[in-house]
Chain A
Amino acid sequence: MAAESSPKIAIVDESPIRAAILEEGLREAGFTDVVRIDEMQSLLSRIYALDPDVIVIDLENPSRDILEQMFQVSRAVRRPVAMFVDQSDAASIQASVDAGVSAYIVDGLKKERLKPILDLCISRFNAFAKLQDELDRTKSALEDRKVIERAKGILMKLKGLTEDEAYVLLRSTAMREKKKIGEIAQSILTASELLK
């Protein structure tokens, strides 16, 4: 895609990492004119100054309501803005809301040209959510391991067990109570705190 025909895209996102991922994806796909806005104060005047063709915003952002105002006819609005999809395209709305992103199209840009942008945003948002999820899981696994180590230590000391025996005791208790081994370990830690 030639640079001059690339629509100007504004990304409104308070998460700098996600915005960067999105921008990178858009650039790879040939959309070279991408601007990130992470400052929500005077959002509207920033947007008017940039005068983008497409605005992409994350749904966790309360400032989304500010953009709705651009549908209105008033002096404050220079170019009317429309929602990103037409009536027939409910699937796109569903997919984008699920992914947590919304896009606004500024008057003049053809809907067909928005579709690939929106699809890309949806897939990048989903990829980011997955990444976040994996990160959270890794973090909690790491956290669990620390807790289990400490619980084993307490059991070894109090009950005179070897490390392997302590682990077996934790695991069998977890199975019997249908809980995660990390949870059992945590309750041992809590109990030992209380009984100190």
Chain B
Amino acid sequence: MTTPLQIGFIPLIDAAALIVAVEKGFTQAEGLDVQLVREVSWSNVRDKLNIGLFDAAHILAPVPIASSLGLGHIKVPIVVPLTLNLNGNAITVSAALHAAIMAEIDGDPLDPMATARALSRVVATRRRSGGEPLTFGMTFPFSTHNYQLRFWMAAGGVDPDEDVRLVVLPPPFMVDSIASGQIDGFCVGAPWNSIAVDRGVGRILHFGSDIMQRAAEKVLAVRQQWAEKNSQKLAALVRAVFRAAEFAEEPDNRNEVARILAKPEYIGVDADVILRTLEGRLKIAVDGTIREGSRYMLFASENASAPDPLQAAWLYAQMVRWRQTVMSAEALKAAQDVFRPDLYEAAFGRVGKPQMASQAIGAFAGPAFEPENIEAYFAALPAGQGKP
């Protein structure tokens, strides 16, 4: 008898492919015995993966890069054989901040450049009147939430380190914190934006896909050493999770998937709230205004599951931009090597080149991102806002 694979996850909708893989028997069909372990913090998931208590984990896309480069913690080479989802975050603001932004806005409220510029004016007004700086919550220093929030603000002329306060908050605390006025907005994954809207304490200002059309959000991560020793198991796991991702994305299956994820041992919120995210039809305001986004969260379509080194390079560039590390060509290369399309392709018996070339990040502002021209990318950033 083999011991079950221990896979850590955080209760979020983007763990869907992993949870469905187990619940719908995709892992079993691959001969895998998997035990999912719910965790309370990203630090725990990272540490338990790094020291070998977990065989694999549902984790924020930047974390395996940080671990592999030894940023913020011990250095452990981690690899990503599959992306669990692209996109899925949203920026939610309090009713007061929403009103302030709308009073200043010049342009389409769905255009992140228009809202970011309006935010910049709100920030300037507050400073002149001697008010406390605005405070925004995000989930982890090495998170897409942190980078998306910063990217958005900086594009409008707000310096995220000087003009506002950015604080880390565990996702389940976001809603209470915005309700109590401790924070004015946040960037977090599903279902927490919807829960803030339902409770009448927040309004969804932007989908993550407004900021970037294509952003790796959560990934399946394993230790490099584990991947080398367990190539068969890894391939089986990649296949099982990919099939579950396809299953979860199929419109006919959404009700069932929402019911599975709603179980108390997984996410433990109403299936109805989960369904909105799966459908990409979100209630963005307490008055019931609905906004649809076909790119809200992608599991398998558009080749979402294949790990793309371009995404890794982009995340590394954000770490440099916001001074979590210093730029080096070797580290850039090492970061790109964390995302392993070869392992993904091998799981399906394909060798050699990936099926599809890298697809653009599609950020709403700034120059197109090309890892080979990273210095030019940094040079083109607006002065004073996180120029490495």
Contact surface of A with B, Cβ cutoff 8 Å: 40-42, 44, 59-69, 71-76, 83, 85, 87, 90, 93-94, 97-98, 102
- CB pair B170–A71 under 8 Å, yes or no, is no
Of B39-47, B101-109, B351-359, the one with at least 4 CB within 8 A of chain A: B39-47
- Most A Cβ at <10 Å: residue of B41, B73, B166: B41
Main secondary structure of the interface of B (DSSP, over half): loop
Structural contact, A68 and B40, CB atoms closer than 8 A: no
Query: Is B172 engaged at the interface, CB distance under 8 Å to the other chain?
Result: yes
> Are A102 and B74 CB-contacts (below 8 A) given A42-B182, A76-B167, A97-B53?
no
The closest CB in chain A to the CB of B74 belongs to: A87
Q: Is the CB of A62 within 8 A of B170?
A: yes
Q: How many chain B residues touch A (Cβ–Cβ < 8 Å)?
A: 31
B140 interfacial contact with A, CB 8 Å = yes
Interchain CB contact under 8 A, B74 and A72: no
- Tell me whether A65 and B47 are in contact in the complex, defined as CB-CB below 8 angstroms, given that A44-B167, A75-B162 are known contacts: no
B348 surroundings in chain A (CB, below 8 A): none
**A97 vs B51: C-alpha distance when bound (angstroms):** 9
User: In the bound complex, what is the Cα–Cα distance between A148 and B161 (angstroms)?
Assistant: 64
A73 to chain B, nearest CB (A): 5
Contact with A along B52-87 (1 / 0, CB 8 A): 010000000000000000101111000000000000
B42, B165, B167, B182, most chain A CB atoms within 10 A = B167
Instruction: Verify if B324 is at the interface (C-beta below 8 Å from A).
Output: yes
B139 is an interface residue with CB less than 8 A from chain A: yes
CB <8 Å contact, A87 and B168: no
One digit per residue, 1 when the CB lies within 8 angstroms of any chain A CB and 0 when it does not, for chain B 166-195 equals 111110110000000010000000000000
B175 to nearest A CB, angstroms?
13
- Given A66-B170, A90-B74, A73 contacting B323 (CB threshold 8 A): yes
Does B48 lie at the interface of the complex (its beta carbon under 8 Å from any beta carbon of A)? yes
CB contacts (< 8 Å) of B200 on chain A: these are none
Q: Is B141 an interface residue (CB 8 A)?
A: yes
A41→B173 CA distance, assembly (Å): 9
Residues in A neighbouring B168, C-beta threshold 8 A: 65-66, 68-69
Residues 147 to 173 of chain B near chain A (Cβ within 8 Å) = 161-162, 165-170, 172-173
**A65 near B74 (CB under 8 angstroms)?**
no
**Contact among A65, A76, A94, A97 for B166, CB-based, below 8 A:** A76
Cβ contact of B172, chosen from A62, A68, A73, cutoff 8 A: A62
Contact A83 B141, beta carbon cutoff 8 Å: no
Indicate if the CB atoms of A62 and B161 lie closer than 8 Å.
no
CB-defined contacts of A74 to chain B, threshold 8 Å: 161, 166
Greatest chain A CB density within 10 A among B74, B75, B324 is at B74
Q: Which residue of B lies closest to A86 (CB)?
A: B74
Residues of chain B at the chain A interface (Cβ within 8 Å): 40-44, 47-48, 50-51, 53, 70, 72-75, 139-141, 161-162, 165-170, 172-173, 182, 323-324
Residue from the list B43, B51, B75, B169 in contact with A94, Cβ < 8 A: B51
> B167 contacts which chain A residues (CB < 8 A)?
44, 66, 69, 76
With a cutoff of 8 Å between Cβ atoms, the chain B residues found around residue A98 in the complex are: 53
With A69-B141, A71-B141, A83-B74: A61-B41 Cβ-Cβ less than 8 Å: yes
CA distance A40 to B200 in the complex (A): 24
Since A61-B41, A83-B73, A97-B51 are in contact, a sample of 14 more A-B pairs with Cβ atoms closer than 8 Å, ordered by chain A residue number, is A44-B167, A59-B40, A62-B173, A64-B43, A65-B41, A65-B139, A66-B168, A68-B140, A69-B141, A76-B167, A90-B74, A93-B74, A94-B51, A97-B48
Are A62 and B166 in touch, CB under 8 angstroms? no
Instruction: Indicate whether A65 sits within 8 Å of B42 (C-beta atoms), given known contacts A71-B72, A72-B324, A76-B166.
Output: yes
Residue from A66, A76, A90 in contact with B165 in the complex, judged by beta carbons closer than 8 Å: A76
Whole-angstrom CA separation of A19 from B241 in the bound complex: 41
Pair A68/B43 contact, Cβ less than 8 Å: yes
Chain A residue at minimal CB-CB distance from B162? A75
Minimum CB–CB distance from A111 to chain B (whole Å) comes to: 13
Leading 8 A-B pairs by shortest Cβ distance: A62-B170, A69-B168, A64-B41, A62-B40, A65-B41, A64-B43, A71-B72, A74-B161
How long is the Cα–Cα vector from A63 to B204 in the complex, in angstroms? 24
Which of A44, A63, A76 touches B170 (beta carbons < 8 Å)?
A63
Q: Please, which residues of chain A bring their CB within 8 A of the CB of B42?
A: 65, 68
Shortest Cβ distance from residue A191 to the other chain B in the assembled complex, whole angstroms: 28
